[in-house]
A and B are shown apart, each in its own frame.
Chain A
């Protein structure tokens, strides 16, 4: 599948604008709880998600606003969720970490590191057993999850049962404040994953073209019945882990060095050089993204809060008496 590179750039810009506005709104106390921003890592979601079909399923972590946005969840619905409003994509029950959208086969928004990997296996198992051919489940997780038992159990099951899962490891080098080197005996994550007998590749997660190409190859293999693929995307988050993180565990120079490789700037330059876009187009993308996000904020502000009378809704299917 070929990817529209203009669209990928646009996706990256939309995520960036959305996330920066979130940081601002957090400062204004409009958004509360934990807020994990994807700034710096946009290339991955922006390049992978457009390649998923509407029939495919995907699961994300608690750093999933960008994925939701690119999957097509309306910005207003995501923002309303973060505002805790009834019109949010999870009815105000989930917040930043738990965005869901059943109509887009988006299974969250999962905040137990590694906890959603078994679900990906099960979703793929269901597709397989129901003979839904060429359907893929994409599962995004950070490199921190690879120390969890659930990663190993899940990738083993998927490989053992030859299930159509794309395991996408967004390796931003820090599990909160713990560096990869201080948590993994084997820091070559693709090598580690390959022990389970599945294709496992590493790509530059700051380069959307590289991510897109690897994804296309992986999806072709998976849809063709080749079983799961593990894809490590090396990336970096430009902001601290969450809003309340003084970022003490990594040198400021390191952060600066990575910021010099800002994927949006680099990709915009590349596309401009290649004549795919020009400066006006890129500016228009930023403007459109800002418009989209501002409309989302207005919408979220205006949305009603869920009635406390409905507090106990959605615990089980039984309607409370």
Chain B
């Protein structure tokens, strides 16, 4: 595969390929057609596939997400796009009360092969109703599968895996990653395992989505100080690849979890708890957590940057853990 494909192009290629391969696949969401998708992922697909399969919806998240569930029940393979995770809250009823429960409530009679794509994350000065990282809300729910591609390869190959899955899969695309370029690889990929993006022996940095490139940058910086940092990309937030975390931390004895979500009762809490449970007797420092400041994401650039974990924050928190210390206040303190 050629180098230099963007994450956005990889995603679009995946959708296009799936639509060509399977007539049951269609895209549904707000402004996915003429507009080309809020983040231009579906740009050009309307022309190729027509309005039936690149289906614009009114602004009714609960309605069209539920329609996606119904269509999936009816044998289709819908890809529902929600503009941002913030808007998905309007569809929480459908996702949490219905998509995730139908199989179980019906005693295994129905599956919901629905794929929901939505953007997540801050970094574009979109303020407090377009910038949050609420992946953990969904990762909390049994019956859902929640993935977060952090590489171009995963952007390319997670979608076909999600479409092949008989259960509802939510794909979180970090809005800051769309322009990122990289190799698409050869595929396929799975939806359940974490990936070691960088091997190391002194500390395990656990990250997902938009935090992965930052964790890698921090690891590079720490390497210049002679520290060997392992970076684990969770890839799947549900199920969590707990054994990959265990394998890594049993070797490194120290872990720092970096999460763009909030710290309280969040993804980082789950990951840290999991590591503590499985690796307690191997830990040489409290598992560190670096998360976003406990504030709605602000608009002003400097405030937004201060609110979310940056490379320097990761480096500082990593040093703290490497010294056996505790990362306090999510590592980001703003009085």
Contact = CB atoms under 8 A, between A and B. Distances in A.
A90 B98 contact: no
B97 interface: yes
The interface residues of chain A, by DSSP majority, are classed as mixed
B67 to A, nearest CB: 4
Contacts of A126: 70-76
Q: Among A88, A119, A150, A315, which residue has the most Cβ atoms of chain B within 10 A?
A: A119
Given A101-B109, A122-B78, A150-B63, 11 more contacts: A90-B109, A110-B98, A112-B98, A118-B94, A119-B98, A122-B72, A122-B73, A125-B71, A125-B74, A157-B57, A157-B58
B62 A100 contact: no
B105 A98 contact: yes
B52 interface: yes
B63 A123 contact: no
A91 B108 contact: yes
B62 A119 contact: no
Contact of B75 (A93, A130, A316): A130
A117 interface: yes
Contacts of A150: 62-63, 66, 93
B64 interface: yes
Contacts of A316: 103, 142-143, 145, 167
B63 A107 contact: no
Contact of A112 (B71, B93, B143): B93
A127 interface: yes
A179 interface: no
A130 B76 contact: yes
Contacts of B73: 107, 119, 122-123, 126
28 contacts: A88-B107, A90-B107, A90-B109, A94-B105, A94-B106, A98-B105, A98-B106, A100-B105, A101-B109, A108-B102, A115-B94, A118-B66, A118-B69, A119-B73, A119-B98, A121-B63, A122-B67, A122-B71, A124-B70, A125-B71, A125-B76, A126-B72, A126-B76, A129-B71, A130-B24, A137-B70, A150-B62, A315-B103
Contacts of B75: 126, 130
Interface of B: 24, 26, 52-53, 57-58, 60, 62-76, 78, 93-94, 97-98, 102-111, 142-143, 145, 165-167
B63 A115 contact: no
Nearest to A120: B70
A314 B60 CA distance: 29
A317 B104 CA distance: 10
Contact of B167 (A89, A112, A156, A317): A317
Nearest to A316: B167
Contacts of A100: 105-107, 109-110
Interface string A303-321: 0000000000111110000
Q: Which of A92, A101, A122, A160 has the most CB of B within 10 A?
A: A122
Nearest to B58: A156
Given A108-B102, A126-B76, A130-B76, A157 B67 contact: yes
A154 interface: yes
B88 to A, nearest CB: 14
A102 B110 CA distance: 7
A295 to B, nearest CB: 22
Nearest to B76: A126
Contacts, number: 154
Contacts of B94: 115, 118
B107 A92 contact: yes
A57 B110 CA distance: 13
Contacts of A88: 107
The interface size bin for chain A is 35 or more
Contacts of B72: 122, 126
A149 interface: yes
Contact of B107 (A91, A121, A127, A154): A91
B50 to A, nearest CB: 11
A129 B23 CA distance: 9
Contacts of B167: 316-317
A291 interface: no
A152 B66 CA distance: 13
A118 B62 contact: yes
Nearest to B145: A316
Contacts of B102: 108
A116 interface: yes
Given A90-B107, A115-B98, A121 B66 contact: yes
Contacts of A94: 105-107
Given A100-B105, A108-B106, A130-B74, A119 B69 contact: yes
B109 A115 contact: no
Contacts of B142: 315-316
B107 A117 contact: no
Given A122-B69, A125-B70, A116 B98 contact: yes
Given A119-B98, A122-B71, A102 B76 contact: no
Given A153-B62, A153-B63, A156-B60, A90 B105 contact: yes
A153 B91 CA distance: 11
Contacts of A115: 66, 93-94, 97-98
A48 to B, nearest CB: 20
Contacts of A109: 105-106
B106 A93 contact: yes
User: Which of B57, B67, B104, B166 lies at the interface centre, i.e. has the most chain A CB atoms within 10 A of its CB?
Assistant: B67
A315 B58 CA distance: 31
A125 B276 CA distance: 47
A88 B76 CA distance: 28
A250 B281 CA distance: 64
A246 B128 CA distance: 45
A300 B39 CA distance: 54
Contact of A156 (B63, B66, B71): B63
